Every structure is written in structure tokens, then in C-alpha cells.
Structure 1
Amino acid sequence: MPPAAERATKETAPRAAPALSAPQRALHKLGLKRDIDLALHLPLRYEDETRNIPIGQAREGGTVQVEGVVLDHRVETRPRRQLVVRIADDSGELTLRFLHFYPSQQKAMPVGQRVRVRGELRVGFFGKEMVHPAVKAVTEDTPLAQAMTPVYPASAQLPQAYLRKAVAGGLQRAALGEVLPPEVLPPGLPTLKQALQLLHHPTPQTPIAALEDRSHPAWERLKFEELLAQQLSQLEAKRERARLQAPALKAEPGGLPEQLLAALPFSLTGAQHRVCEEIAADLARPQPMHRLLQGDVGSGKTVVAALAAAVAIGAGWQCALMAPTELLAEQHFRKLVQWLEPLGIRVAWLSGSRKGKARQQMVDMVASGEAGLVVGTHAVIQQDVNFHRLGLAIVDEQHRFGVAQRLALRSKLEASTLEPHLLMMSATPIPRTLAMTYFADLAVSTIDELPPGRTPVLTKVFADGRRDEVIARIADEVEAGRQVYWVCPLIEESEALDLRNATETHAELCAALPGRSVGLLHGRMPAADKAAVMAEFSAGRMQVLVATTVIEVGVDVPNASLMVIEHAERFGLSQLHQLRGRVGRGAVASICVLLYTGPLSPSGKARLKAMAGTNDGFEIARLDLEIRGPGEFMGARQSGDALLRFADLAQDAPLLEQAREAAAVLFSRHPAAARAHLERWLATRAEYLKA
């Protein structure tokens, strides 16, 4: 190739992106890529480098900054090698000790050098001293810092000095002009730019306590901005869905829903009637329903789901019901077959354990439309499952499914112009602040009434030392003709966790209850074995069932009156409440025993106290949110990190109300400002809104 051509080729070839340094890679790992990301990376705490304290006045135990002249420095070898430097000012002397040091540090502190030193002061055998303080060589006229020094969340590859410089640069370059009209802002708050400048570099006069507890107006502005972005994103998701088309599913007089109601062996509660009407009204519209059905444990959500399915099937469409575990899916399947097959509805069953010809037969029933209702686990959304005419998708225990799984279920409606209606069910009631934030894009129906005949469950908390008393109580319950659950957190021994396991407990109870049937149920058993054990227990032929948390939801045995939860301190609050809901389903008085092994952590103690204090699922959910925070509480609702980094739902409810009102005003009167605000705050972080 001629030199000129070679030169031209080199000039036009795309240049490789420059390799990132280790600190730059660490910045990107923390999500700090844009200038606005850096500006919103706020300090964990602050160090006061705005004043020096005379050495003589410095008190033990506090972190202080002093300035003095080096009197001498030496390397000592006993009791271990260390650099010892002695400095002094007019009021006293101070010893600096460095257990790890470099020759350059020695050179930086020659005798006669003035140094500014910051660290924790303690009084040792030789007087006042600091170990590994921060040291800076200064002159008599070196100015002090004019603002508090921020300390940022960082990583091992990201030195504070580098991060401070990067954040300061991002703060300077970020476009922080006001995009919100004054009418939507709470009164008395600074601009966003002023708020961020103050939070990164507070003056010595700024009350540090107000910064640390996030009550300062600068924090209020930031939290309001974040909540507003979250509200706008939910409003946008809701409006996007309103533009989509769905089949209008209307129930005809005397149709399938009315036939099902007439055939049921019980009457619906007022709350069940109300939510059925809300769901039916949604299904009749040509826009996709996106509704959350919430109700406490045992409130009767399955029959509401069955009636919703009857509306869809009666209108000539199919319904899919997806549950997170095979055990729960099978419970639904049995009930729905019992209610719907007498009305001529074919119900298909799809699960991971059903394979070969049996599975293919079900898949064919779904594809041909012969199956009006399809019940199953994740198997329902596998690639080879094609629906003839999917009009309604029901997702039980929706917090256990990720965004991608819910999107896959919605994509099963092959007519590209239509979306299926979506009903999500949860036995973990959503606290009001969560309903207003993360679930603001959903319509929420609440069953707030238990069916008649349900008895409140008495909850007792026992230390593991009282295990023998608990086993004696089990013998009494069994003698009286009732049944018992015993729940363990592990299946077999683990060296990592010293917890009693299900197999060991099963052997212990078999020995303690001779002549009685004690079953064992856990997630690793083949599906057929699990079904056989549950059938024995449900039929009353098995008196005690030792199980892992596979029985957390869906299992309904009215004769079970005692639930023992071993190592209760290891379970989450909502999980404990779900497990407790397996008893108290009949007319007999029921007890839940929480066995714990000490010492308890503060959150473990709080969970057990909450369980003993209330049976109200809404109160449990509120306390759970308080203890765990929204990210953990919501499970897989989000895709990625929790959206709220600054606001606290427990403390900032008034700001949340203001943000809701402001979002509605912005969308209707200032759409350009709404878009600019969303772009600034969310960028690519709103993927989860699609589901």
C-alpha cells in the first residue's frame, strides 16, 4: 500500500476508546458516569478542617485538627517497627505514630517543618498522641478550608482525594439550572444548585445534625426532586399503558361468572364482592387492566381470581394463572378444577415436573384454545407455550417474579395490536406510602375482610430451651384430633449455619410421637412425593407435617391448629406472617409458636415482637417496611437498584403528598418541564416500569 494511502487509512479508521484507569473503572462501577451522577453522589459525613485547636486544649477521644512544628522524628523498632514524630505548638506537644509508612513520609516531615494534622487524639504513656493521622505540610500563612470536608461512599480502588476532585468537577459541569416552575415547589426550599453546593461543601455555620438526619432544607429539596421524578415516571407508565389496546371482556347476564357464583359452596364477603366489581369494570374496558389485588392471608383471593378468569373465559378468551412454586400452583389448580370443570371449562396444568407426552398434551390444549384456563409455574411462559387467545394473565405472589418474567407473560398474546389484562395478587399488603410510590402506576383492590369462621391466631415466642414443652403441646393437639405444622429453615445440615434441620427434627418428632404419622416435606423432593405427602396431610391421615418454607403460601388445611416455626429469628416478618396464616383456617382456636435461638439482633427482636403483637397483615407490612426498607420489602418489583436513594418513606410522607400533587400539575400544564426533570433523574433507570 502506498504511504499516502496507508496514512489516509489510519486517519479514517475509528480510534479505540482510551483505556480507563483503575479509579475511573471504580467510578463507573459505582454508577458515576455522567456529571449529574457525580453531583448526586452525596457525602456520608463531614470532617471539620476549617479550624485548628491548640494542642494543649485538645481532648481525648475526639477527632481534632492541630498545627505544629516538627521537633524530631525517628524510626523505632520496639515493640514493632514504627515511625514516631513529635510536634509542638505554643500550648503543648503531640506524638504521631505511623505503624505502616514509606520513606517519603519521613522526608515530608523534617525537623522544623510546620504540619497540619488531623486524627483521633488519645492519651498514651508518653502523653497525647495520634496513630496514623492525616498530615499536610503547611506554612504559617497556609489558609484553612472554608467549608467542611466531605467524606464520600467509595471503594478500595477509589481514594477519597480522587473522588472529591471528580465530584467537584461533576458538580461544576452539571447542568443544574431550574427546570421546575415555582408553582410546583414547596415554599422555603433552596434551588437544586444551591442545595447540592451546600450538601457537598457545608460552611462551618451549617448545623451538622440537620445534615446528618436529613432534615436540612437542602436535603428536603433533594428528596422532593427525587420523589417527584418517581411520581412522574409512574404517571408516565400509567399513561403509556392507557394508549395500549386490550380485548374488552364483558360478562353477560347469566353468564359464566354468575354460574360460578351460584355453584360455590359458600357466599362471598362484602369485600370480595367489591373487588370483583372493580376487576370486572377494568376487564370491560378496551385498555389493559394493570391491577394489584391485595388481601391478608386467608382473605379469599383465589375465588376472586377464579371469578376474573370466568369473565375472560365467558367472553371467549383464555386466562393464565402463574404462581411462584409448584406447590402453590398445584393448590390453585385443584381448587379451580373443582370450581370450573363442572361448568364445562377445561383447565390445563403446566409445571417443570410435567414432561414428555403429558406436557405436550397440555401445550396442545393451550395452543388450540381447548383449555380456557392455564395454571402453572414459570413453565407457563416457556417459549413453546403458545396461547390461542390470551385475554387475562393472573400472577400470584407477584413480588416473587422479576420484570422479565411478567413481560414474557404479557407477550403471550400473539395479536400484536392487543395486550392481555394483568391482575397481580399479593398476600403481603402494601403499606400506603409504598402504594403511593412504587405501586402508584397500579390500580389497587383490597380485600380488607376475612371470611366468617376464621379465628385469630395466638402467637407465642419461646426460647429454644423450651423445646420439650412445645413437643408436649404437640402431643396434646394430636391427641385431641388436630394437626400440626413444624417449619424449619434448612433441609439438611450446613456447616455455615448451625440450625436444626428438617430431617433431624422429623426424626426427633417421630421418636417423641410413637404411633402417630409424622411427614416430611421440602423443596428437593420429587413433585410426586410432595403431592403425596400433602394429600396425606390434607386428608387428615397425617398428624404432623415437618416442612421447609415450601408450605409458606397456598396450603389450606382447616384442621391444623398449631404452627411451630423453628429459628424464627432467621425469617423475614412477612414470611413469618405468611407461615402463621397456614393455621387459624378453621373454627378451632389456633396457636403459632416462634422458637428462637439467642442472642437476638435488634431487628430479630423487633420482628418477633411485632409478630406477637398483631395479626393484622397491614400493620405487619408497615412494620416490615420500617425494619427492612422498601428495596428488600418489594423483592423483585424493581429491575436493578432501589429507585429512592435519598427519600425515606417512613419519614417523608408529607413530601410524598406534595410530589404527587406536583407531578399531576407538571404533566397537565408543563409537559416539557416534566420530561426535563425525568431525564435528569432517571435517564435509563426506569426499565422496571414496563411491568
Structure 2
Amino acid sequence: MADKLRKTPAPPSAAQKALHKLGLVRDIDLALHLPLRYEDETRITPLRNARDGEVAQIEATVTASEVQLRPRRMLKVVVDDGTGTCELTFFSFYPSHQKTLAVGARLRIRGEVKGGFWGRQMLHPQFRVAGGELPAALTPVYPTTAGLAQPYLRRAVVSALQRADLSETLPPGLEPPVGRFMGKNGVQGAFSLREALTFLHHPAPDVALATLEDHSHPAWQRLKAEELLAQQLSQQQSRRARDRLRAPVLRARHGEAVPLHEQLLAVLPFGLTAAQRRVGEEIAADLGRPVPMHRLLQGDVGSGKTVVSALAACLAMDAGWQCALMAPTEILAGQHFAKMVGWLEPLLAARGRRVAWLAGGQKKKERAAMLALVESGEAALVVGTHAVIQEQVRFKNLALAIVDEQHRFGVAQRLELRRKLEAHGMEPHMLMMSATPIPRTLAMSYYADLDVSVIDELPPGRTPIVTRLIADSRKDEVIARIGAQVAAGRQVYWVCPLIEESEALDLSNATATHQELSEALPGVMVGLLHSRMPAAEKKAVMALFSAGQMGVLVSTTVIEVGVDVPNASLMVIEHAERFGLSQLHQLRGRVGRGAAASACVLLYATNDSGRVGETAKERLRAMQETNDGFEIARRDLEIRGPGEFLGARQSGDALLRFADLATDTHLLEWARATAPLMLDRHPQWAERHVARWLGGRSDYLKA
């Protein structure tokens, strides 16, 4: 009976659903949901003192109110506050509005004051019946979503601030250095977390708004410091947890005639650069320890990361273990496979082992054969796409996982690869590679639990690439240049941003461009490549281009990484203003791989006045000024911010909401120094701090 009387919980309201959609589930989530901007409702401004273009709050009496039907239906209201009059105009209104705005009503009105020929005016101002005390603090305006009104959100935040546990999680003596950065507005002393949040939700009216907008106010600094500390603590915890794990010790076994990596060095048609040798030694030292390596190998386009990864794979195979190499696209994985087979298959064959290939588009029979090779251990090296981490892939003894363009993989996929050695009670070594150089501050923050190796030297013989910015109104000249290049025996890439027309963005599509170039260049084989093509078709197109039979390849960004055709000497990127800087640099790196002088043409679309937007102009200018991938990455971070730079949507990284890596380096350095001290001396405080700031997202920082 008691069960029958017990009330079932009420279903969530539309507003509660909207809160959950914004990720506002816990009280602390609401407490940390900070205003976008503020409205000053703390004072009444006499109309005679209101400046043109200024948002002001007035208190006035309605002297006239009528609905006009021409030139369109609108409500016109005239108010007088004793110092002047103002006309209010409403294009959308309801009977209840007309009732409130009736002649004789005393109202409190807030809006932008404009001075015109007919006197002062406000368009669609906020209004309510006058009376009651004025607020003592600025009114917050929060980021919101459909179904979530500001008044409801404000009440929810106030209520959450009262309930949330905002007790200190920073032990005495480890406070952040925010006091030293307060000089300009004369505020001294440091905010506690509760004081900082209370202030930022309801700042005093005399605060300098600029310090709230640029997040330089001490209350903002306190929040940024806490957020950075949570991130560093999470990553330090991850590093310490990994240091407790075991991994295979990968050294050449005694009795081998010549170690595999030495055999590979002897057959390579080129010598290693000093940077490649240095990085190779760093990796070898890691692999020789019983602790899982977690290393990021950075190197600009064409710096020779693949050969370094092949040498690392040799160390694993020499020790009798398996190695996996995973790439985000079938084209890139295929390039790696071709190189590895060419370099290693003859050496492995002498030992009765081989290189296996796994990809999504494989025939069932071929796939079954490859899976058997992997499970038996005959496949010493397995190369492929995300197919490598699928459940049915059972390694005999995977010791080294190499992930190329690691930021293109989701966190869950990287974690899955690390679980492939669980049966042995160990974890494989991880080598992640990226041709998108990561600026130092970003590496300090997002890769705090990674060791970073950098190949900062290009192999000799790379041809400098000249970059040209050309408006798309001059496309005909570019096509004529292509004709001359092909006639001289060279090959050309033409990259389009979309596969087919989008109503939202007026961009050329690859299919139409392919047709246009085919008509403009009679006698030239023009190919088309995009991600929706069947794998066999893509492979056939790439084979024709690689063999030199195809003069022009029209492609989407599927060729961004890994495509290596030394005879290609011209890269045209259409709608270059739509691409990120690092992506443009990656695409440019597809040329300049042979002896011929190479060029990259950035075709940009202009607006009606013949101009391009400021941000786009900044990106394109950076491309023209430098070929240095690290300088480009630094500028890309400045322009786009860390979220976009890291590809947050697919990486799942718990990105920073408050701190800015471009301006808050001092706080990041404090957090990096404080995190290990806190874990050593105050582990319970550290746990509470991470739980408050990251909740369940801390796992994402560990992949």
C-alpha cells in the first residue's frame, strides 16, 4: 500500500531539459555558468543626461499611446520623465503590452537612446511598472538555449550558488598568484572561490566593465587558476597511474645477427637527419623501460616522422612483439602500408614474419586471412585505419601502438587501442604522431601527461614552396597556369572545401570544379577524389595520379595528410579563407616534394565590395609570410583558440572554458608547479578539486 501512495517523480519541465542540454546538471555546473555580459539596472538616468547611442534606464510617465497602421502596424508610445520626452516604438506587441503602456502609467524603461529629427527614441525597449528598490548589482545575461528564459536561469543560478559546496580546495600556502596582476584597478587581496563566483554573477555597479569583458579582473583570474589546476591535476594523476602500469621492455634480443633497425638503416636510400636520430634515441630509451611510453612525436610536413616510427616498430619486432600503426584515413594508412612493406617486408620475410593490412573496405576472405595472421603473431606489424582497434582484431602480443595524426581520432578509439594488451596484464607503449605542430603553451596544458619529441629539421632536398594569394575573380589566370604546368610534365592538385552544394555556404563543389577543369583543359586527364567515393575507386584515382598519368587531381581535404607525389608542383586551394591555418599548411605540404620549383595558390572569395574578412585576411597573410609549421601553429592558436585548434569535437578533450592560453601563461605555470605538490601533500584536496571542475570529463584527458 505504501508503494502505491508513494509519489512518482514529476517529469522534467522544458526549462529543466534545456538546462541539461547546456550541461547544467549539478549545482556547481550552474555556479560556473558565468554571464556573457551585464546590464546596468542599478540607476535611473534623466533623459536630458542620456547620450545618443547609450543604453539607459529611465523612469517616466506615458503621455500618449496609439497603434499606427502605416507604413506598417506598430505601437507608438510617448513618455515624459520631467526632464524630457522619448518615443518608444514596438513592431511586435500584445494586448497585455498595450494595457501596461496605457496613458498615465508610470514605467521603468531600459533601451538604447537615439536622437532623431523627431526627438529622442527607443526601439523595442524593456519595460515594467515602476516601483520597488533598484538592484544593488549589475544584472547578468547568461548564455542560454531555446526554452530557457533569462529570469528562470538567473533564479536557478542564485539558488545553486546557495546550495553548491564552494569550500576551499586550495590548501593554505598554495594560493594562485592573482594578487600581482591587479594593479590597474587598484583592487588588492585575493578572492576565495565563493567570493569570486558571487562577484562575477552579480558585480558591483562601480566595477570597470572592461576588466570583466577581457577577463582580467582578479575574480576571473581566480577562476582561471582553479580551472588550470584541475586540468594539470587530472593529467598528473594520469601520468602517475601510467607509471604504475607495466609495459613490455623492448630491446633487441641477444643472439640476433644484426638488429632489425640496423638492417633498415642500411637499406634506406637516405641518411637520417640529426633531429631524426635524436628523436629516435628518445623513443628507444622509453621503449627500453618497463613503464608504458606515452610520447607525442611532432614534426612539420615532410620532416620524416614515418621513418622514425618504422625504426621504433623495429625495436618492438626485434624483441619478439607486435606493433600496430593506425591512421585516420584509408589513403594515409595505405601510404604508410606501402612504405612499411617496401622497407620492412624483405627484412621480415627472412624471419618468417610479415606486414598485415586492415581497413574497412576489405573483402571478407582477405580480412579473415589478415585477422588470422594478427592472432597467430605471424603479422609482426599491422597497418590500417580504425579497423585495427575493432573487437574481432586479437593481437598475439601487441607491444607498441603508433597513431598518426592522433588528434583526428576520438578518445574512445585511442583508449581501445591501449586495451589490446590487457590479457597480459600490461599496456602497450603509445607513440602518437602529428604534423600539426602544437605551440608550447598548448602542449603544456593539453599534453601535460605526454612526453614530447620534436623533429625540428627538414631533410635536405625539400624544395621551397612559393605561396600566392589570388582573388577568385582571377580564376581563369590560374587555370591557364595549370595548363602550362601540365604541358611541362608537372602535376597539379586543386582542393575544394565541399563535396556538393550547401545552401548555407556559397562554396564551389568538387564535382562542378572537376567538370569545369575537364572542359577548360582538353587532352588533360582530370581526376576527382572525395571521401564518399568507394574505397576501390579512391585507390584507382590515387594510383593514376601517383603514376603520373593524371595531370590534375580535384579533391576535397581527403588529401590533407599522407599523399606523397614528388612530381606534383602546384597546389590550388579554392575558398582558402574557409580553412584553418594548420589545415592550409598541411595541404601546402603536398607539393615541394620533388626537384621542381613548387607553388601554392590560395584562391579567396571576396564580398560585394571586393574585400575579404579581417580574420581570413590574417590567416592568408600568415601563410604567405612563413613556411614554418611551428610559427603557423602559434598564429593559428591566436586566431582560432585551443578548442578548434585541437579538433575538440572529435578529440573529446575537456577544453578550457575560462583560461586563455595566449594570456594566462603565468597561471598555467603556477598550475603545473602546484599540481605535483598538491598530489604529494594534499591528495584528498586534489581529488575534490578535480571532481568539482571536471566531473567525469577527466578521463578524456588521459587518452
Give the distance between the partners of 1:282 and 1:638, measured in 2 at CA. Answer: 28
Q: Which residue of 2 aligns with 1:183?
A: 173
- Counting only pairs closer than 5 Å after superposition, residues 76-87 of structure 1 correspond to structure 2 as 76-87=68-79
TM-score for both structures, normalised by structure 2: 0.92
User: 1:476 Cα deviation (Å)?
Assistant: 3.1
Measured against aligned partners, the alpha-carbon deviations of 1:431-462 in whole angstroms (never above 9, x if no partner) come to 11110111111111111110111122111111
User: How far does residue 552 in structure 1 lie from its aligned partner after superposition?
Assistant: 1.6
> Residue 121 of structure 1 aligns with which residue?
113
Counterpart of 1:369? Answer: 377
Does the 8 Å contact 1:45/1:150 carry over to 2? Answer: yes
What residue is the counterpart of 2:18 in the other structure?
Answer: 26
1:164-221, CA deviations, whole angstroms, 9 ceiling, x for partnerless residues?
1111121222222222124222152321122112211111221111111111111111
Report if the CA contact (8 A) 1:399-1:637 is conserved: no
SS in 2 for 1:478: helix
**What's the counterpart of residue 157 of structure 1?**
147
Residue 74 of structure 1: how far off its partner (Å): 4.3
Q: Give the match for residue 640 of structure 2.
A: 628
Structure 1 range deviating more: 578-587 or 487-496? 487-496
Question: Cα distance, 1:419 vs. partner?
Answer: 1.0
Shift of 1:250: 1.4
Structure 1 residues 592-646: Cα deviation after superposition (integer angstroms, max 9, x where no partner): 1112222233322222111111101111111111222111111158765752111
Contact 2:374 2:394 in 1 (8 A): yes
The equivalent residue for 1:463 is 471
Aligned to 1:203: 204
Aligned to 1:3: none
User: Does structure 1 conserve the Cα–Cα contact (< 8 Å) formed by 2:470 and 2:601?
Assistant: yes
Q: Which residue of 1 aligns with 2:44?
A: 52
**What is the aligned counterpart of 2:33 among 35, 41, 48?**
41
1:103: Cα distance to partner? 3.6
2:493 alignment counterpart: 485
Alignment pair present for 1:172 and 2:176: no
What's the CA shift for 1:113? Answer: 4.0
- Structure 1 distance, partners of 2:539, 2:3, is 70
- Counterparts of residues 359-398 of structure 1 (less than 5 Å): 359-398=367-406
Task: Provide Cα deviations, 1:227-257, integer angstroms capped at 9, x if missing partner.
Answer: 1111111111111111212111113573111
In structure 2, the partner of 1:323 is 327
In the alignment, which of 309, 314, 336 is matched to residue 310 of structure 1?
314
Residue 361 of structure 2 corresponds to 353
Counterpart CA distance in 2 for 1:483 and 1:156 is: 51
Alignment partner, residue 240 of structure 2: 239
Give matches, 1:194-593, under 5 Å.
194-252=195-253, 254-344=258-348, 345-492=353-500, 497-593=505-601
- Measured in 2, the distance between the counterparts of 1:107 and 1:431 equals 60
What residue number does 2:687 align with?
675
Return 5+ residue gaps in structure 2 as ranges.
Answer: 180-189
Which deviates further from its counterpart, 249-258 or 277-286?
249-258
The amino acid of 2:215's aligned partner reads R
Between 1:270-279 and 1:243-252, the stretch displaced more is 243-252
Shift of 1:289: 1.1
| Runs (5+) with no aligned partner, structure 1 | 1-6
Moved more, 426-435 or 508-517: 508-517
Q: Which residue of 2 aligns with 1:146?
A: 136
Q: Please name the residue that 2:193 is paired with.
A: 192
CA shift, 1:493, in A, is 5.2
> Post-superposition shift, 1:81?
4.5
Name the CA distance, whole Å, in 2 between partners of 1:498 and 1:521.
21
Provide closer, same or farther for how the CA distance between residues 654 and 8 of structure 1 changes in structure 2, counting only shifts above 3 A. Answer: closer
Separation in 2 of the partners of 1:111 and 1:468? 66
What amino acid does structure 1 have at the position aligned with 2:221?
E
1:440 partner SS: coil
Distance 1:291 1:378 in 2: 20
Between 641-650 and 353-362, the greater mean CA deviation after superposition: 641-650
For residue 683 of structure 1, give the secondary structure of its aligned residue in structure 2. Answer: helix
Q: Note closer, same or farther for the CA distance 1:80–1:423 as it changes in structure 2 (3 Å cut).
A: same
**Matches of 1:641 and 1:108 in 2, distance apart?**
50
Q: Assess, with a 3 A threshold, how the Cα gap between structure 1 residues 105 and 473 changes in structure 2: closer, same or farther.
A: closer
* Secondary structure at the counterpart of residue 173 of structure 2: helix
Aligned to 2:662: 650
Are residues 513 and 159 of structure 1, via their aligned partners in 2, closer, same or farther at CA, if it must alter by over 3 Å?
A: closer
The answer as to whether partners of 1:518 and 1:545 remain within 8 angstroms in 2 is yes
For residues 413 and 262 of structure 1, the distance between their equivalents in structure 2, rounded to whole angstroms, comes to: 32
**CA RMSD of the aligned region, Å?**
2.2
- Give the SS at the match of 1:591: strand
Counterpart CA distance in 2 for 1:74 and 1:508 is 60
Whole-Å separation in 2 of the counterparts to 1:570 and 1:246: 44
The answer for the alignment partner of 2:182 in structure 1 is: none
Q: Does 1:91 align with 2:56?
A: no
Task: Confirm whether residue 610 of structure 1 aligns to residue 619 of structure 2.
Answer: no
- Equivalent AA in structure 2 for residue 256 of structure 1: L
- Is the 8 Å Cα contact of residues 178 and 222 (structure 2) preserved in structure 1? no
Shift of 1:356: 2.0
Shift of 1:550: 2.3
Task: Indicate the larger mover: 51-60 or 314-323.
Answer: 51-60
Instruction: Report SS of the residue matched to 2:110.
Output: strand
Q: CA shift at 1:394, angstroms?
A: 0.9
Q: Give the drift of 1:478.
A: 3.0
- One-letter amino acid matched to 1:277: E
Q: 2-side partners of 1:402 and 1:43: how far apart?
A: 31
SS at match of 1:184: coil
Give the letter for the 2:570 counterpart: L
Q: SS of the residue aligned with 2:421?
A: coil
Question: Quick one: distance in 1 between partners of 2:534 and 2:199?
Answer: 61
Alpha-carbon distance in structure 2 between the residues aligned to 1:404 and 1:111: 64
Contact residue 408 and residue 651 of structure 2 kept, 8 A: no
What SS does the corresponding residue of 1:684 show, helix, strand or coil?
Answer: helix
Q: Would you say the 8 A contact 1:637–1:688 is kept in 2?
A: no
Query: Using the alignment, how far apart are the partners of 1:641 and 1:443 within structure 2?
Result: 18
- For the Cα contact (< 8 Å) 2:106–2:130, is it kept in 1? yes
Quote how far apart the aligned CAs of 1:370 are: 0.8
What SS does the corresponding residue of 1:272 show, helix, strand or coil?
helix
- Aligned-partner residue type, residue 169 of structure 1: S
Farther-moved stretch of structure 1 (23-32 vs 91-100): 91-100
When structure 1 is superposed on structure 2, of 674-683 and 476-485 the one drifting more is 476-485
Matched, 1:130 2:130: no
Which residue identity lines up with residue 537 of structure 1 in the other structure? Answer: F
Contact 2:411 2:652 in 1 (8 A): no
Q: What amino acid does structure 1 have at the position aligned with 2:676?
A: A
Cα distance between partner residues in 2 of 1:641 and 1:293:
19
Report SS of the residue matched to 2:400: strand
| Structure 1, 453-462 or 530-539: larger mean CA deviation | 530-539
Moved more, 528-537 or 417-426: 528-537
**CA displacement at 1:93 relative to structure 2:** 2.4
| Greater shift in the superposed pair: 56-65 or 72-81 | 72-81
Which residue pairs with 2:187 in the alignment?
none
Assess if the C-alpha contact under 8 Å between 1:631 and 1:642 holds in 2.
no
What secondary structure does 2:697 align onto?
coil
Q: CA deviation at 1:523?
A: 3.0
> SS in structure 1 opposite 2:646?
helix
Q: 3-state SS of the aligned residue for 2:437?
A: coil
Letter in 1 for 2:47: I
Aligned length: 681
Give the secondary-structure state (helix, strand or coil) at the position aligned to 2:600. strand
Q: 1:250 to 1:50 in 2, by over 3 A?
A: same
* 8 Å CA contact retained: 2:408, 2:650: no
